[in-house]
Structure 1
Amino acid sequence: MAHLMACTGRCVGMTNSDGVYIGRERIDTGDCSGPRSARNVLMHPYVEAAVFETARGGILREGLGFDRCDVAVVTNIGMGDHLGLNFISTVEDLAIVKRVIVENVSTDGVAVLNAADPIVAAMAQNCPGAVTFFATDGNNPVLANHRAQGHRVVYVEAGDVVLAEGRFERRFELDAIPLTLGGTIDFQVENAMAALGAVWALGLSWPAVQAGLGDFVNDAQAAPGRFNVFSYRGATLIADYGHNPDAMLALVRAISSMPATRRVAVISGAGDRRDIDIRRQTEILGGAFDEVILYQDMCQRGRVDGEVLALLQEGLVNASRARAVQEIHGEFLAIDTALGQLKEGELCLILIDQVEESL
């Protein structure tokens, strides 16, 4: 979204879990997805537009860093993340927190919501402004009903992302959106649809949007830790910051279409997640990878030494595919071990924790 807005010539301020950006310059590092960083961007004299990652923790601590927004985007809730923390025990509890941005859309603003996630779709009733639904399936009942009423929708049809409202249609070829690898990476297609719904609401010019979609490169510089793909000694290497069961499912689907003679995953677990969520991650990976390398990261977040590794091992007990498992203490040593064993034609997925250093 920030990239597409910048293609119109605006100076865009952005906050996320990697830092604070003003235009092309990163002025702060670390997790900056809370309201303080958002306020700092809004007060910056050069900023003409702002894009904020709005995390659960910051909302619970301090609320939002703004009074109203022109566009709110909620991509998914899924099985939830961070459950069991701060008295948030269910996905319904989490949705109440996440929908705060929807509740604070201005009356002439727009909420862009995932029609395929029932909990997200239900947030439409809490929006003071208009709603744009998106889903890869154009026949999704929520999306189809919304379109029948003359409202805005975004979906995929015949290799295109389609933006539709009444008789209006605008199409963008997935082959012309490198982020999606020709439409083969489902979650990146959804990300592109959400971004298109947002910039449509902002009235960006279509030529600028088309140009921005075409030249956005999902590399370690533009989107660190977001499905960064490398070629290494003839093998395919993927680095991603995914750290919950929903992310594992999405990643497994994404790599299923990528050829490989052997598949290796490198993973740790966040100690502040529920036992069931830590186990579930390796349960998913164990059915899709030939080897899994487990590592214990620097911060165990309240767990005793070895506890997270034990939970990850439990998730692999009934693995249908993984036949080799290694335990390594230290993220960088685990990465070095995986790279040292990687051969031509193989694929390695590394779930990184210290994003910048690992990349």
Structure 2
Amino acid sequence: MTQSRFSDLIQALPVTSSGGDLGTVVTDVCYDSRLARPGSLFVAMRGGYTDGHRFLADARARGAVAALVESWEPDLANYPAYAAVPNTRAALPLVAATFFGRPAEALGIIGITGTDGKTTTSYLVDAMLRSAGYRTGLIGTIAVRVGDEIVDHDTRQTTPESLDVQRLLAQMREARVDWAVLEATSHGLALHRLDECAFDVGVVTNITHEHLEFHGTIEEYRRAKARLLERVAGRGPRPYPGGVVLNRDDEGARAIAEAAGTAPVLWFSAKGAPADLQADDVQLAADGTSFRLTTPRGSVPVRLNLIGAYNVDNALAAAGVGHLLGLSPEAIARGLESLAGVPGRMRRVDLGQPYTVIVDYAHTPDSLEKSLRLLRSLVPGRVIAVFGSAGERDRAKRPLQGAVSARLADFSVFTSEDPRFEDPDAIIAEIAAGARDAGAVEGRDYVCIEDRRAAIRAALDWARPGDGVLLAGKGHERCIIYGAERRPWDEAREAELALRERGYGCTAAGNDE
């Protein structure tokens, strides 16, 4: 059983006050009072919805023996020991890393950031490394995997809290993982979730319009992403190869390149720009994508099981990681080709209907545009889009999404996607306003249907033979969030049910996962 003295856990922190027996033995660390147990250290953090300091008494009642706080009121709870610091969220990663014996020191760590493509690139890197004989771990949007053990999750935190990251890295160390692949979100980088992770390789897929509700400006958003490159540049002595992989075709990636400092930088381009890794002779098909990969060590043909030109970008990003780790072009190609698919990304739902139905996670203006353009290239008929925009997230992107759909879809259904505590109809109205500004007319070019289940069925009713229906925004997610309620949801399953209601389903549902 892991245990530490409270004094050892807080030794390197900027403690402003403390009390009680600092030699108290801690056998667990938590930031959710409901998970406290005898021997726990409870870290009280302030969040968007609540303040952990309100639950000090609850954690103590469940057995917590020490508390790390920002402010201390002795009457709240009778703890054997406590310490106060200016920022508990910033302190937690150091506490967690110390408690778990600094697991990052025993692993090579790859961080992948970007507005779009993080998950697919992570899956490609993971598949490539496993194909090359490495034992890997994965922490990301869809799943967490420690060695061969896969753990699905739906916390909606692509990058978990620092305590959970350090716990998972410790499990990977015990499972003798060689390389950990982490999706590094801007929130995760800005909110200290990835502190105490010694990143050896950093990848930037792109930086477009997203999360301005949190960062405020695109410059601050880019600044958060740049922290990953700074981590690579400042990693210090490590027994692992390292460097940075950047998208030469993306303005956002180019804008933060200097943050890499003296770290080796590999550029990739799918558009013919001067770069270390390039893709030529790209061939798109409904069942995959082919191209010729050129690296500093030579060139090879690659045949991805993923559809869409944007997956060439993701493959180039992954190939850059392989090159930094010393893989040959042939080994890189084999690894990229070994990935069968990514859950919730351009997943085809086929029950024998005469039109195409695709479920995709696209939830930014840029990713929505890419998915709509891809579907347009795959079907001879009309393109029908169904999507919404998340509540309590970047409001500025909503009219942009509406405008994209007005330009690229023949018909759109604006619906709900995790409204949280916002008015779902008001969110939809902001999307519709962008569509109208782009020339769309309600009733002719789009409709607003708040209930997502009804929206999907309406879109299928409008579909004709040869058409394509894109269900965007939910992808792999397993719930829709209304207020604090998580309502169970499975987009692909919902599409299948709707198709069966319309008489299809004599053949088995197909998917590309």
CA deviation map 1:193-225 (0-9, x unaligned):
10111111112354443322223222xxxx222
1:112 equivalent to 2:242? Answer: no
1:77 equivalent to 2:207? Answer: yes
The one-letter amino acid paired with 2:253 is V
Helix, strand or coil at the partner of 1:303: coil
1:330 equivalent to 2:456? Answer: no
Instruction: Report the structure number with the largest CA radius of gyration.
Output: 2
Q: Distance in 1 between matches of 2:380 and 2:310?
A: 21
Which residue, out of 245, 260, 270, partners 2:380?
A: 260
1:355 equivalent to 2:489? Answer: no
1:204 equivalent to 2:324? Answer: no
Q: Distance in 2 between matches of 1:164 and 1:211?
A: 14
TM-score with structure 2 setting the length: 0.60
CA deviation map 1:140-172 (0-9, x unaligned):
2xx35xxxxxxxx1112234443333xx42223
CA deviation map 1:24-62 (0-9, x unaligned):
542240234234443233211112221100111122222
Query: Contact between 2:386 and 2:470, CA under 8 Å: does it hold in 1?
Result: yes
Change (3 A) 1:63 1:352: closer
How do 1:238-249 residues align onto structure 2 when only pairs under 5 Å count? 238-249=358-369
- Higher-RCO chain (CA-CA 8 Å, sequence separation at least 6): 1
Which residue, out of 191, 198, 201, partners 1:61?
A: 191
The one-letter amino acid paired with 1:116 is D
The one-letter amino acid paired with 1:121 is R
CA deviation map 1:288-318 (0-9, x unaligned):
2122112123x32342241111112212214
How do 1:1-359 residues align onto structure 2 when only pairs under 5 Å count? 1-30=125-154, 31-34=157-160, 35-44=162-171, 45-46=174-175, 47-78=177-208, 80-85=209-214, 88-105=215-232, 106=235, 108-127=241-260, 128-138=262-272, 140=273, 143=274, 153-159=276-282, 160-165=291-296, 168-173=297-302, 176-179=303-306, 181=307, 185-218=308-341, 223-232=342-351, 233-297=353-417, 299-320=418-439, 323-353=444-474, 355-356=477-478, 357-359=490-492
Change (3 A) 1:36 1:103: same
The one-letter amino acid paired with 2:373 is R
Change (3 A) 1:91 1:161: farther
Q: Distance in 2 between matches of 1:72 and 1:208?
A: 20
The one-letter amino acid paired with 1:135 is S
Q: Distance in 1 between matches of 2:251 and 2:467?
A: 37
CA deviation map 1:45-98 (0-9, x unaligned):
1122211001111222224154322211001112x211032xx22221111100
Change (3 A) 1:234 1:300: same
Gaps of 5+ in 1: 145-152
Count of aligned positions: 332
Aligned-residue sequence identity (percent) comes to 25
Query: Contact between 1:13 and 1:22, CA under 8 Å: does it hold in 2?
Result: yes
Q: Distance in 2 between matches of 1:230 and 1:193?
A: 28
Change (3 A) 1:62 1:48: same
RMSD over aligned Cα atoms: 2.4
Change (3 A) 1:339 1:355: farther
The one-letter amino acid paired with 1:43 is A
The one-letter amino acid paired with 1:4 is M
TM-score with structure 1 setting the length: 0.84
Change (3 A) 1:206 1:336: same
Query: Contact between 2:245 and 2:265, CA under 8 Å: does it hold in 1?
Result: yes
Q: Distance in 2 between matches of 1:309 and 1:337?
A: 16
Q: Distance in 2 between matches of 1:38 and 1:205?
A: 31
